[in-house]
Structure 1
Amino acid sequence: MNPSSSNPKERFKYYGTPGKDFPRFDVDRPLPEEVEPTPRYEAHVGLQAFPTLPLIPVLGWAFSGLTKKLGFRSMAGPLLQTWMPANLSRLHPDKFSDEYFVERRLNGFNPGKLNRVEGKEWQYSVYYKTGRYQAEPGGLLPEYSEARFLLRDRALHVHSIKYCLKGQDITCFPTDGKSWEDAKYYFRSAEYVFQEIQSHLGRTHMNMDQYAMAFYRNIKKSPIRKLLWPHFEGLINIDKKGASLIIGGTGFIPEASALSADSVDGVLIEEIAMLSYHWSPAEQFLPDIIDNNHFDRAALAVWELLTKYVSDFCVNNQREIQNYWSEIEGMSEDLVTHSILKPEYGTLEIKNQEDLQQLCVYVLYHCIFFHSWVNNKQYEDGGDIEYAAIGLWDKEDPKYDPKIEQKRHDAQVKLMWILANVRYNPAIEFAPLPLKKLLWEYRDRIEPGIPLGWLMMSINI
C-alpha cells in the first residue's frame, strides 16, 4: 500500500487513554493492510509449529493424516514432554548443578539482571520482589527471591538464596540438600515470570510497539522510513494476537503462572514506565571481568556495530532527513503524548539528529538482538518443566488439581517451542549489505552468547 494513499493516523489508532495506558495499537481495530503478515511468514509459523499442531487448528488441514497417524491429538502430560524436542537443560549432563545455575543467570533467557553488591560476603545478586503482586489462591510464589553470587578468579559461584514463602524468611546454601534444590526451583520460577513480563513482553514487544506506532503514523518520505521499516515487520501483528494469547484474562501468563491477570498488567506497566531510548547496554555492563559472561560482551558488540551502521546511514542521508524533519517532529509528538515514562527517566522527545540516531540504535538493538536473545532462548530454559515452571502450585491446597497443573505445564512447553523456533527473516540473510558485513565483522564477540543465525530482523513472534 502506498503510505500516502490514506491517512496513517486513521489506520493506526492508539489503544486507551494517552499517558495512562501503555502505548500500543488498538487491538479492537482491523490490522492495516501494510502490516499484515506475509504468506512466507505464515509458512514459517506453520513449519516451526508442527510439533504442537493441535494448538493451531487452521494448520491442521495440511497435516491431518499425519497427526492422526502419529497420535498428536492424544499427546499430553509426561508423554508430551517426552516427545517434544529436547531443550538445553534436558541435554545438560547435570542441569541441577550449581555451575549450570550460575551459567544461566549470566547467559540464559533473562540476562542483564545481575547487580554488584558492596559490603557483603557475596559480590553479585539477582533480586525479584514478587510479593507486591497478587497471586492466585494455591499459587506458590515467593514474596521475594534473591540469589547471591561470589566472584573468584574471574568466575561466579553461587553463595546462597534467600526467599520468603508463606510469610517465612528462608536462607539456603549449597550444602543444604533438598532445601537448596527447592530454593533454586522457587527462584527459577520467579525469574521465569519476570522474564516473560518484563524482559520479553515489556522491554521488547510493548516497548517497541510505541516506537512503531509513532513511526507508522508519521514517517512517509523521510529516509528513516527505509532504515526502520524492516525492523518493525510483524510487530503490531504479533502484539495484536498476543493481547489475548499471552496476557489478558485467558492469556498464557495469567493461566500458567500464579499471578492474576491484573498483576501481570501491573508488572508490564511498571516496566514500560522505566524504559527510554536514552539508554545503552553500557549502563548494565558488569564491572568485573567474568570469563563466561557472554551476554554483556555480545550486547556491547551489537550496540557498537549498530551505532556505526546508523551513523553512516544518517550521514549519507542527512540532507533528506533534514528536509522531512517535520515527520520526525510528528513522530516525537506522538511518542511524548502517549508515553507513560516516569518523569525521573526524562522524555521520549526527539530534539535533534543526535536523539534520532540514538533512538534508531535503541530500536534496532531491541528488534534484532535483545528480542532474539530473550525469545529464542525461551525453550532452552522453559521447555523443561523439571528445570523451570512458570507457575508453582501448593499440593496441600484444597483446590489443587493435578490435571489443571498438567494442562498448564503442557501449555508452557508447547508455547515455548513455538515462540523460540519461528525464526523469520534472519538478519544475516535479509539485512542490508552494510549491516550484514558488520554482523560478520563482530561475529566473534556476539558468539558464543547467541549464534549469529539466531538474530532476526524484527520482533515477529
Structure 2
Amino acid sequence: MTEFNQIFKDQTLGKLCRATALIQKPKDENQSESAYQIRFLKGLSIHGIASFKFRSMNTTEKKRETQFQLTQLCAECTEKTKISHRPKRSFFHPRLKNFNRVEVHRSRTHGGFFQQIALFCIELYEATGRRYHILNRLVFPRRDKIYGKPNPHHVITGYLTFGTRKKEADSPVFNMHIELWARTYWGAYRKLNEAKSDRNGAFRIPYDLFYVQRLYIAKVWLAVYQTGHEHFHSNGQHSPEYKEFKRIKISKGDLVGIEYSCKQIQLSYWEYRQDTPIPRVVIRHHDRHAPDSYTPGYNEAIEKQFVPIELVKLRHIAMIRLNQGLTQQRIVEDYPENLTVCMEKVVPGITRSDDWFGRRMMNGMYACDFDRDPRNPQLYWVHHHWSSYDKTLHHYAMPDVDMWFTLKEDGLPLPVKITLTGPLTKNESDPKQKRTFTPEDGEKWLAAKRICRVSAALHAELAHHFSGTHLNIEQYAIACFRNLRLNPISGLLKSFLRSVVLLNHTADRILVGNGYITSACALTPKGINQLIYKVMGTLDWRGFKPMQPISEAHTAAKAGNLFWKIVWDFVEGYIDQPDNRAAILEHWFELYCFSEDLVNKSVPAFLCNYLQHALLEGNGKLKENTDWYQRGHRMDLTGERPMVDGIPKAVSRITTKQDGHAVTESDIDLLKQACTYMIYQATFGHTWSNSKQYDDIGEVLYCSLGLRFGNGPDGVLGPETDYSIAPDLTRSTQMMWWSNLLSRTGYGFIIANEDGDVPPDLQNRLESHRSQFEELGLDIDIIQSRITI
C-alpha cells in the first residue's frame, strides 16, 4: 500500500496532518524534519477547525504536546476562494436581460452581433423612456397642491377590491392612496384632490366641478397608488415610495352631477394563486405583469457576474455533444476553485476525513440540526427520511440516512456510525433493507460518508434554502404588500421582503418542478412538492429561536444567535420609538389583516409520525423528558396551533385585535418577534444556506445533489474513481454552474446598501459586531439585505 493510501485511511486529523508533513521534503536541507512539521502545521487551518494536539516525532519533542491553531491555511484557502461580486463580464460576452432569462441547459442570452445590437436598441429605448419621464416631471411637475376648491356636494366615489376572481371579488383593499388628476391642453398637471380607501375599500373624493369644466382642462383621471419599498435616509427617517398602480379614465363630460361613481374597481394586486396549496403570488408575465420588479442595478450586477459562468457551462455542453473527452476533473478545473479543492491541493485526503465531515455537517452549508439520540444520549443524531417522498429509483440512489456523532474535546462532531435504509444497487428493491457502517469499514465508510454529504446537501437546498427561506418569506411578503401601507411596520419590513416572489417564480422553472433537481436525483416533481409542503408545515415565527450551540465550536449556531440578537434589538428600538409606536397603534387594523392573511393562507401544521409519538402525549401536549430534541430552529410545540375550518395551521396569529386601543404590551412583544423572524430569515438565514453552497457542492466527486447506482457490484458504495456513480457529465457541469450561480452572483447587501433601502440603525448595529462575527468565521459584508438569488 502506498504512503498516500495509508494517509487517506488515517481518519484522525492529527495523524493525517503529521503524515502529510512527512511526505513533503523540507525545502531547507538544514531544517530538521520535526521543525518542518511544526512550520507546516502552524500554517495549517481548515474552516471550522479550532485546534488539535500534535505529538512530535522528534525524541525531545515527544516529551511535550504542542497545540497548534489551525488558522493560516483556512485563511489562505478562504481568501483564495473568496467570492468576488465585482463585474467580470467583458464587453464581447453575451448579454442577459434579467434573471428570469436564466435556464439550466442554455440561458436565454444574446450572443450574436445582431442580437446584441437589438438588445442595445431595446435598452436604449427603455432608458430613453425613463429619461423622458424624468424630463417630463421636470418640465411638467406634479405639484402637491390642490387646485380649485373641493366641494363636498360634488364627489367621485367607488370601492376597491382584490383581484378579478370571484373568490376575492369581495375582499376590500383598504388604506390605498388615491388621487384625482387633470391635465391642461399645454401639458400642465392639476391635482384636484386625494383620499384613502376605508376599511371596506370605499373612497369618496370631493372636487371642484366648476374648475374641472374650465375650457383648458383636457382630461381627467383617477390614479390608484401602491405603497412600494421604503427608502431610508442617513438620519434614519424613511419615506414611502408611491407608484401608480392603476389609472381609471373619467370622461370630462360625465362630471355634471352631484356624484360620479366608479363602482367596483378590481385590482390585480398581490393576488394569491389558486393552483397550489402553498401561499404563492400570481405572476402573469415576469417582465410586464408582476407585482414586484428588480432594480436596474440588480439586473446589471447579475448580468456581469453570471455570464462568465454561463459560458463555461455552454462550452462543456458543446464538448459533451461533440464527444471531445470532457471529464469530471476538467469540469471542476474550469470553474472557480472552491474550498474543498483548495484544501485537497494542500492536504490531500483531508476533505474525505472524519474530522472534516463532522465540521462541515456542523458549520458548513448543511448546518444540521443535531438531536441527541433518545436511546443513547451520549451521541448526536441526524436523520433524512427520503422514503416519505415520491421518487423513482431507475438511475439514482436515495436511501434514508441516519448519522451518529460524538463530540470531541474541541467540541466538534466526529461521525461514529452511519445507517442507510433502502436500495444501494440497481438490482435491489427492498426499501427497508438497513446497512450500518463504522470507521472500521474502510472504503465502504468513505462511500457512506459521501452518500451522507449528498443527502445533507439536497436536504439543505430544498428544506433550509428553498422552503425555509424563499417560499417561507414569500408568504410573509404577499401578506405584507397586500395589507401594510400606513403602518410604520410597512417601512420596517418591505425592504427585506422585496424581489423574493420574482426569484421563486424563476425557481419554479429551473430548480424544482421539471428543473435541475428532478434530473439530478431520484425525487420526482411530486416528491419535491410533498417535501416542500411538509417543510412549510413546520415553519412558524412564534417561539422561534436560532439553533442553540451544542458546543463552543458550533460557530454556525453562535453566529445565528448573535445575528438574531442584533435584529431583535434593532426591531425593538424601531417599534418602541414613540412616533412609530403611536402610528403602529393608530393603524393596527393593517396588522390584523396582515396576520389573518398569513394564517388563512398558510399550510396545515405538520409533525412527522415518529416525532408525534416521541414528543407528544395523546392530548397533543409536549411530553416530559424530551431534552434530546433540538428545539431551536424549529416550530414551538408548546403553543396552540391556530385553527381555520377545523385545520391546525402552521403560522401563528400575530394579533386577534383589530383596534389599537385594545393592544397590550404582550401584543407588541409578539409583533417584535414576528418582525425579527422575517428579517432574520430573509437576511442571515438565506445568506448562510446560499453563500456556502459553493464551499460544499463545488466539487463534483466530493458532493453533488444526487448519486447514481453505478455499474459496479457495490452500487453506490463504490469508490470515487467509479465515475458511473457520480452525476453524468451534463448534470455535473450543470451542478457546478448552479452552485456558482447561487453563491458567486449577488447584489443587495446590508453593509453595501446598494439601493439605499437598508435602515442605517441595522447597518450600524451589525458593523459594531464585525469582530465578533470574524471570530466565528463570518464576513458580515456578505450578509444579504434580502433574498436576491
- Using the size of structure 1 for normalisation, the TM-score is 0.89
DSSP-derived class of the 1:311 partner:
helix
Q: What's 1:424 paired with?
A: 747
Q: Deviations over 1:134-187 (max 9, x none)?
A: 322324434311111112323322211111231331111112111001100111
Q: What's 2:437 paired with?
A: 172
Kept after mapping to 1: 8 A contact 2:603/2:650: no
Q: What's 1:319 paired with?
A: 582
Kept after mapping to 1: 8 A contact 2:458/2:705: yes
Kept after mapping to 1: 8 A contact 2:383/2:401: yes
Q: What's the CA shift for 1:33?
A: 6.0
Does 2:733 align with 1:410?
A: yes
- Using the size of structure 2 for normalisation, the TM-score is 0.53
Q: What amino acid sits opposite 2:761 in the alignment?
A: P
State how 1:256-271 maps to structure 2 within 5 Å: 256-271=520-535
1:201 to 466, 469, 484: 466
Kept after mapping to 2: 8 A contact 1:281/1:299: no
Q: What's the CA shift for 1:55?
A: 8.5
Q: What's 1:157 paired with?
A: 414
Q: What's the CA shift for 1:417?
A: 0.2
In the aligned structure 2, how far is the partner of 1:233 from the partner of 1:97? 41
Kept after mapping to 2: 8 A contact 1:429/1:436: no
Q: What's 1:293 paired with?
A: 554
State how 1:41-440 maps to structure 2 within 5 Å: 41-54=298-311, 74=319, 77-78=327-328, 79-92=330-343, 93=347, 94-120=350-376, 122-153=378-409, 154-166=411-423, 167=430, 168-249=433-514, 251-282=515-546, 284-286=547-549, 288=550, 290-316=551-577, 317-342=580-605, 343=641, 347-351=651-655, 352-396=667-711, 405-430=728-753, 431-440=758-767
In the aligned structure 1, how far is the partner of 2:761 from the partner of 2:396? 49
Kept after mapping to 2: 8 A contact 1:77/1:407: no
Q: What's the CA shift for 1:348?
A: 2.7
Q: Cα–Cα, structure 1 residues 345 and 294, in superposed 2: closer, same or farther, change >3 Å?
A: farther
Q: What's 1:459 paired with?
A: 787
Q: What's the CA shift for 1:9?
A: 5.9
Q: Cα–Cα, structure 1 residues 74 and 49, in superposed 2: closer, same or farther, change >3 Å?
A: farther
Kept after mapping to 1: 8 A contact 2:286/2:502: no
Q: Deviations over 1:375-425 (max 9, x none)?
A: 01111111111111111112239xx99698221111111011011112211
Kept after mapping to 1: 8 A contact 2:489/2:584: yes
Q: What's 1:64 paired with?
A: none
In the aligned structure 2, how far is the partner of 1:244 from the partner of 1:72? 20
Does 2:270 align with 1:12?
A: yes
Provide the alpha-carbon RMSD of the alignment.
Answer: 2.6
Q: What's the CA shift for 1:274?
A: 1.1
In structure 2, runs of 5+ residues without a counterpart are: 1-223, 228-243, 247-265, 321-325, 424-429, 606-640, 642-647, 656-666, 717-722
Q: Cα–Cα, structure 1 residues 338 and 118, in superposed 2: closer, same or farther, change >3 Å?
A: closer
Q: What's 1:62 paired with?
A: none
In the aligned structure 1, how far is the partner of 2:651 from the partner of 2:441? 48
In the aligned structure 2, how far is the partner of 1:27 from the partner of 1:2? 19
Q: Cα–Cα, structure 1 residues 223 and 73, in superposed 2: closer, same or farther, change >3 Å?
A: farther
In the aligned structure 2, how far is the partner of 1:457 from the partner of 1:406? 35
Give % identity: 22
Kept after mapping to 2: 8 A contact 1:368/1:458: yes
Q: Cα–Cα, structure 1 residues 114 and 345, in superposed 2: closer, same or farther, change >3 Å?
A: farther
Kept after mapping to 2: 8 A contact 1:297/1:446: no
In the aligned structure 2, how far is the partner of 1:421 from the partner of 1:362? 26
Q: What's the CA shift for 1:72?
A: 9.1
Q: What's the CA shift for 1:233?
A: 2.4
Aligned length: 441
In the aligned structure 2, how far is the partner of 1:295 from the partner of 1:174? 26
DSSP-derived class of the 1:147 partner:
strand
Q: What amino acid sits opposite 2:310 in the alignment?
A: L
DSSP-derived class of the 1:123 partner:
strand
Q: What's 1:63 paired with?
A: none
Q: Deviations over 1:408-449 (max 9, x none)?
A: 111111011011112211111223221112112223443334
Kept after mapping to 2: 8 A contact 1:231/1:367: yes
In the aligned structure 2, how far is the partner of 1:218 from the partner of 1:38? 23
Kept after mapping to 2: 8 A contact 1:276/1:341: no
Q: What amino acid sits opposite 1:408 in the alignment?
A: R
Kept after mapping to 2: 8 A contact 1:54/1:72: no
Q: What amino acid sits opposite 1:3 in the alignment?
A: Q
Q: Cα–Cα, structure 1 residues 103 and 23, in superposed 2: closer, same or farther, change >3 Å?
A: same
Kept after mapping to 2: 8 A contact 1:306/1:364: yes
In the aligned structure 2, how far is the partner of 1:88 from the partner of 1:258? 27
Kept after mapping to 1: 8 A contact 2:270/2:291: no
DSSP-derived class of the 1:15 partner:
coil
Q: Which moved more, 1:369-378 or 1:349-358?
A: 349-358
Q: Deviations over 1:318-377 (max 9, x none)?
A: 011111112112211211121114146764322133222111100110111010000011
Kept after mapping to 1: 8 A contact 2:682/2:787: yes
Kept after mapping to 2: 8 A contact 1:339/1:348: no
Q: Cα–Cα, structure 1 residues 240 and 339, in superposed 2: closer, same or farther, change >3 Å?
A: same
In the aligned structure 1, how far is the partner of 2:357 from the partner of 2:439? 11
DSSP-derived class of the 2:569 partner:
helix
Q: What amino acid sits opposite 1:95 in the alignment?
A: T
Q: Higher strand proportion, which one?
A: 2
Q: What's 1:26 paired with?
A: 282
In the aligned structure 2, how far is the partner of 1:45 from the partner of 1:299? 27
Q: Cα–Cα, structure 1 residues 348 and 202, in superposed 2: closer, same or farther, change >3 Å?
A: same
Q: What's the CA shift for 1:312?
A: 0.5
DSSP-derived class of the 2:707 partner:
coil
In structure 1, runs of 5+ residues without a counterpart are: 58-66
Greater CA radius of gyration, 1 or 2?
2
